[in-house]
């Protein structure tokens, strides 16, 4: 089960039933055989089509109850499908954006872990190692982030599934990398290098305060769609960048060396093996004094 703390330092448990199901799927031979079917693009598309159809509407009330969703935080209306509900918009006053230019903000509601990228661009997640070059499928870009930070934001199914830009600046085009669709839950990490195998999409953000930042979305089990709104364009802090359709998903941010200093509680939790609960638009670090070498 994932180890999670809130910003107060309290240990919390989220989605225990989902975690138990995933443990059974990834921890047994029959479960892994079933996963080979469930994680295929065809099955994901079928599941996504159902979740976008009116036939999925009865699932909404059941999900609100089982996940204890606080509907007062969201703009609620008559949803046409489960996906319509899943991508519901939050009330702006419930996710205020920290506008201090030197503050690094979270792009989403999630469970955050921070890693330092070493000289070989390899970082560790639980018991598995991941190369930045594998994630990006681009060794040239990955070399720029040696000595910097990798921030991993894991969204669960009851999180807000829209995400924003972390700063003002200029966005490059979207790069799509096809792959299999595995869950982003840490339970899967023991057997699958999910950040290398999953469908993902990234862009480079030329930001005003944090240098050139790689912003990547990683698709997950039953998430057939990563929906980014913009191509190349000017961007603004807190502006909506896109959304995930049904399922748990992940956002990865890569920062160059000496560009940011993550908040101490997040660094401490990450070092101890805990994820930290963060919210869309809240401060998670600060701009570092950049030293060009």
pLDDT score for 219? 77
Whether 109 is catalytic is: yes
Cα separation, 242 vs 89, in Å, equals: 12
Whether 263 is catalytic is: no
Give a yes or no: residue 4 inside a domain: no
Cα separation, 70 vs 236, in Å, equals: 28
pLDDT score for 223? 45
Residues 35 and 175 in one domain: no
Residues 61 and 16 in one domain: yes
Q: Is the pLDDT confidence value at 183 over 60?
A: no
Q: Other CB atoms closer than 10 Å to residue 86's CB: what's the count?
A: 22
Q: What integer is the mean pLDDT of 246-268?
A: 91
Residues 24 and 141 in one domain: no
Confidence of residue 123 (pLDDT cuts 50, 70, 90): low
**Catalytic option among 109, 158, 159, 263:** 109
Stretch (H or E) spanning 130? strand 128-131
Among 67, 86, 105, give the residue marking a domain's end: 86
Give a yes or no: residue 82 inside a domain: yes
Among 54, 86, 118, give the residue marking a domain's end: 86
Q: Is the pLDDT confidence value at 77 over 50?
A: yes
Domain of residue 67, residue span: 11-86
* Predicted confidence (pLDDT) per residue in 40-60, tens digit: 667 667 777 888 899 999 999
Q: Is the pLDDT confidence value at 186 over 90?
A: no
Residues 154 and 209 in one domain: yes
Residues 66 and 179 in one domain: no
Residues 108 and 171 in one domain: yes
Give a yes or no: residue 66 inside a domain: yes
Give a yes or no: residue 293 inside a domain: no
Average pLDDT, the chain: 83
Cα separation, 284 vs 249, in Å, equals: 20
* Predicted confidence (pLDDT) per residue in 128-144, tens digit: 455 888 788 888 898 89
Q: How many domains does the chain have?
A: 2
Cα separation, 158 vs 175, in Å, equals: 27
Q: Is the pLDDT confidence value at 235 over 80?
A: yes
Give a yes or no: residue 267 inside a domain: yes
**Catalytic option among 52, 56, 249, 270:** 249
Give a yes or no: residue 61 inside a domain: yes
pLDDT score for 137? 81
Q: Which residues contact 92 (CB under 8 A, 6 or more apart)?
A: none
Residues 30 and 106 in one domain: no
Among 65, 86, 107, give the residue marking a domain's end: 86
- Worst-scoring range by mean pLDDT, 51-55, 233-237, 273-277? 51-55
């Amino acid at each position: 089960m994932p180890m999670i703390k809130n910003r107060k330092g309290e240990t919390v448990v989220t989605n225990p039933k989902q975690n138990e199901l995933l443990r059974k799927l990834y921890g047994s031979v029959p479960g892994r055989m079933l996963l080979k079917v469930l994680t295929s693009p065809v099955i994901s598309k079928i599941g996504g089509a159902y979740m976008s159809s009116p036939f999925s509407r009865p699932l909404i009330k059941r999900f609100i109850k089982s996940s204890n969703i606080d509907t007062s935080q969201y703009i609620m209306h008559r949803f046409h499908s489960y996906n319509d509900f899943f991508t519901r918009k939050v009330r702006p006053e419930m996710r205020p954006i920290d506008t201090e230019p030197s503050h690094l903000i979270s792009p989403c509601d999630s469970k955050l872990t921070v890693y330092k990228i070493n000289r070989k661009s390899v970082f560790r997640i639980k018991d598995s190692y991941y190369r930045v070059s594998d994630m990006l499928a681009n060794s040239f870009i990955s070399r720029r982030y040696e000595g910097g930070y990798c921030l991993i934001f894991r969204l669960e199914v009851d999180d807000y599934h829209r995400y924003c830009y972390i700063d003002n600046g200029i966005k490059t085009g979207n790069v799509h990398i096809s792959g299999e669709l595995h869950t982003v839950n840490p339970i899967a990490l023991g057997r699958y290098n999910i950040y290398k195998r999953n469908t993902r999409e990234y862009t480079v953000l030329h930001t005003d305060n944090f240098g050139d930042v790689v912003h990547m979305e990683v698709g997950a089990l039953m998430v057939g769609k990563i929906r980014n709104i913009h191509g190349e364009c000017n961007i603004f802090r807190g502006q909506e960048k896109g959304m995930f359709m049904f399922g748990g998903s992940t956002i990865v941010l890569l920062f160059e060396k000496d560009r940011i200093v993550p908040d101490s509680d997040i660094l401490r939790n990450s070092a101890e093996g805990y994820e930290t609960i963060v919210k869309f638009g809240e401060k998670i670090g600060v701009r570092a004094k950049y030293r060009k070498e």
